[in-house]
């Protein structure tokens, strides 16, 4: 059993959060704009674009637990996780640039080179990001401090998202002199350089606990399977985030088309995405406080219910006034802010729950599987939205010669508001089955200490 880490310094909490500023400059850019980049900049048919976006993300999802297994069995003087960030961060940044440079350098093979570069980026992203997220467990053993680490990550992630949402298309237009293909390359170079620096800040300003470096023998696969099989809290959390992520990813991507085609405000997507992300950012301290005062799952539910009401209003009104739409998206962001904040503080708690139930502790596999849940949801969402757009007859503005049909516009509205609403309801039903509150977590920690003292040995860890 690992002893709880001493109280974290504020600088450590802030430095750790900077890592997500780097990761989300890259990840949020792709989450918000990759599909519309394929369809409206490269003029790729929607169904094909959906497959191009979905395939590499699915590969990313499948490699996450593999990376978790590798990281949890790594033993170095730097610890388990930081070596991967040190080596992988610069390569990840370069591969991000390659995603947007490839279509410009190889215009006769746009689809093939785009998919290849995307696959490379997703692989390197996994190599760096899974160890980063798993570091939460080895930085502190206290559930409240894990909440602070998660909040720090989310604040930085929101800052990155705001930057991506408001800057991407305008900056690409400016840097490319009206040529969005070349403009995206220049913006990707800027984002990749900034992201690499922020990731390396984490490497050089944090340290893993000595217990995490340990000399205990690596876990066997049967140990990991036992840890997962009995970890019901983890599987409830994974199911909830999977459902929520499908809906939010479809909604965020569909909003781009809604603003462009339904509202008729091409290039002004940031005016709607910006208040959404601001709402999430403003909500972070609110829902962190509510979670600490009640429980993490209860805070998730308390935020989700009014969030559903906002979703119903969006479905009913389908606003075309940008001011009204921005206000409703701010409200949606505020009430959606709990889930992403609480998720990353709940995963470490499920590590102790699994250890208590199974006698085995495997940190990285849990984070790897949560990443699998998130990214497989994103992959499925991209594929579904691509199919929806193709089914409703969507064609990019540069290619079509006439306004979109009414049924096509209604399909875009359906994708932007109704689909996310339905999946949010299902996600709340799932998280309502999560029973691991602060009281139970403290009892589990004490039971693990007692078990260790009684047996005179250290729990198998990974």
Q: What is the pLDDT of residue 1?
A: 39
Lowest mean pLDDT among 28-32, 162-166, 257-261: 162-166
Under 8 Å CB-to-CB from 36, ≥6 apart: which residues? 253, 256, 257, 260
Under 8 Å CB-to-CB from 2, ≥6 apart: which residues? 138, 141, 209, 211, 212, 361, 461
pLDDT digits (tens, 9 = 90+) for 175-225: 999 899 999 999 999 999 999 999 999 999 888 764 444 445 566 778 888
10's tokens: 């504020």
Confidence of residue 284 (pLDDT cuts 50, 70, 90): confident
Name the percent of the chain lying above pLDDT 90.
52
Lowest mean pLDDT among 44-53, 267-276, 306-315, 389-398: 267-276
* Euclidean distance between CA atoms 390 and 45, whole angstroms: 8
Under 8 Å CB-to-CB from 401, ≥6 apart: which residues? none
Longest dimension (CA), the chain: 77
Mean local confidence (pLDDT), 115-137: 91
Place of tokens 């209604």: 410
pLDDT digits (tens, 9 = 90+) for 373-388: 888 898 999 999 999 9
* Euclidean distance between CA atoms 18 and 155, whole angstroms: 9
Q: What is the pLDDT of residue 169?
A: 86
Per DSSP, 402 falls in state S
Q: What is the pLDDT of residue 23?
A: 94
H helices within 46-179, ranges in order?
46-72, 82-105, 110-139, 143-175
pLDDT at 127 over 50: yes
Q: What is the pLDDT of residue 211?
A: 45
The residue that leads in pLDDT, 94 or 397, is 94
* Euclidean distance between CA atoms 135 and 149, whole angstroms: 10
Q: What is each CA distance from 53 to 46, 181, 189, 190, 370, in whole angstroms?
A: 10, 17, 20, 22, 20
Burial of residue 407 (CB within 10 Å: 0-12, 13-18, 19+) is: exposed
312's tokens: 């119903």
* Superfamily of structural domain 10-461: MFS general substrate transporter like domains (1.20.1250.20)
Q: Which of 111, 199, 127 is nearest to 160 (CA)?
A: 199
Under 8 Å CB-to-CB from 116, ≥6 apart: which residues? 102
pLDDT digits (tens, 9 = 90+) for 55-105: 999 998 888 888 888 887 888 888 888 899 999 999 999 999 999 999 999
Backbone angles phi, psi at 295, to 5 degrees: -160, 165
Q: Are 61 and 371 in contact (CB under 8 A)?
A: yes
Which own/partner pairs from 139-142 qualify as long-range (CB within 8 Å, at least 24 positions apart)?
A: 139/5, 139/8, 139/12, 139/16, 139/206, 139/208, 139/209, 140/4, 140/5, 140/7, 140/8, 141/2, 141/3, 141/4, 141/5, 141/445, 142/4, 142/5, 142/7
Q: Which of 417, 402, 35 is nearest to 393 (CA)?
A: 402
Q: What is the pLDDT of residue 100?
A: 96
- Provide the sign of the torsion angle of the four alpha carbons 347, 430, 288, 446, taken in this order: negative
pLDDT at 372 over 70: yes
Mean local confidence (pLDDT), 274-286: 87
The count of other CB atoms within 10 Å of the CB of residue 204 is 11
Q: What is the mean pLDDT of the chain?
A: 87
Q: What is the pLDDT of residue 135?
A: 85
Q: Where are the domains of the chain?
A: 10-461
H helices within 318-418, ranges in order?
322-336, 338-358, 363-391, 406-413
């Amino acid at each position: 059993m690992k002893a709880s880490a001493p109280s974290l310094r504020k600088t450590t909490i802030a430095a750790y959060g900077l890592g997500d500023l780097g990761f989300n400059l890259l990840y949020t850019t792709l989450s918000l704009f990759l599909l519309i980049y394929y369809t409206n900049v490269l003029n790729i048919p929607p169904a094909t674009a959906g497959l191009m976006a979905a395939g590499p993300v699915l590969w990313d999802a499948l490699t996450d637990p593999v990376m978790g297994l590798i990281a949890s069995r790594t033993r170095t003087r730097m610890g388990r996780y930081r070596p991967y960030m040190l080596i992988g961060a610069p390569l990840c940044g370069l591969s991000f640039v390659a995603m947007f440079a490839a279509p410009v350098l190889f215009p006769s093979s746009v689809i093939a080179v785009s998919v290849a570069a995307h696959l490379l980026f997703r692989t390197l992203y996994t190599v760096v990001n899974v160890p980063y997220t798993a570091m939460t467990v080895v930085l502190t053993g206290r559930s409240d401090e894990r909440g602070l680490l998660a909040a720090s990550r989310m604040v930085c992630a929101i800052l990155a998202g705001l930057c991506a949402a408001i800057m991407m298309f305008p900056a690409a237009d400016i840097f490319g002199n009206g040529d969005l293909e070349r403009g995206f390359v220049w913006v990707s170079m800027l984002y990749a350089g900034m992201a690499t620096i922020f990731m390396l800040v984490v490497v050089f300003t944090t340290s893993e606990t000595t217990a995490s470096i340990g000399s205990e023998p690596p876990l066997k696969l049967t140990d990991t399977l036992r840890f997962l099989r009995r970890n019901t809290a983890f599987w409830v959390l994974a199911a909830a985030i999977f459902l929520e992520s499908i809906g939010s990813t479809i909604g965020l991507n569909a909003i781009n088309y809604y603003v462009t085609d339904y509202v008729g405000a091409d290039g002004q997507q940031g005016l709607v995405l910006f208040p959404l992300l601001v709402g999430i950012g403003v909500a972070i301290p609110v829902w962190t406080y509510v979670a600490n005062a009640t429980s993490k799952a209860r805070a998730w539910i308390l935020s989700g219910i009014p969030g559903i009401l906002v979703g119903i209003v969006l479905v009913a009104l389908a606003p075309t006034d940008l001011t009204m739409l921005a206000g409703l998206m701010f409200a949606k962001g505020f009430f959606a802010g709990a889930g992403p904040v609480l998720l990353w503080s709940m995963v470490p708690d499920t590590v102790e729950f699994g250890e208590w139930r199974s006698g085995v502790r495997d940190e990285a596999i849990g984070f790897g599987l949560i990443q699998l849940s998130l990214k497989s949801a994103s992959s499925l969402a991209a594929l579904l939205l691509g199919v929806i757009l193709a089914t409703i007859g969507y064609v990019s503005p540069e290619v079509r010669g006439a306004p979109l049909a009414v049924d096509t516009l209604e399909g875009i509205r359906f994708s932007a508001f109704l689909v996310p609403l339905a999946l949010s309801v299902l996600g709340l039903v799932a998280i309502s089955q999560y029973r691991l509150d602060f009281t139970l977590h403290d009892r589990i920690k004490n039971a693990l200490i007692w078990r260790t003292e009684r047996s005179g040995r250290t729990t198998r860890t990974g």
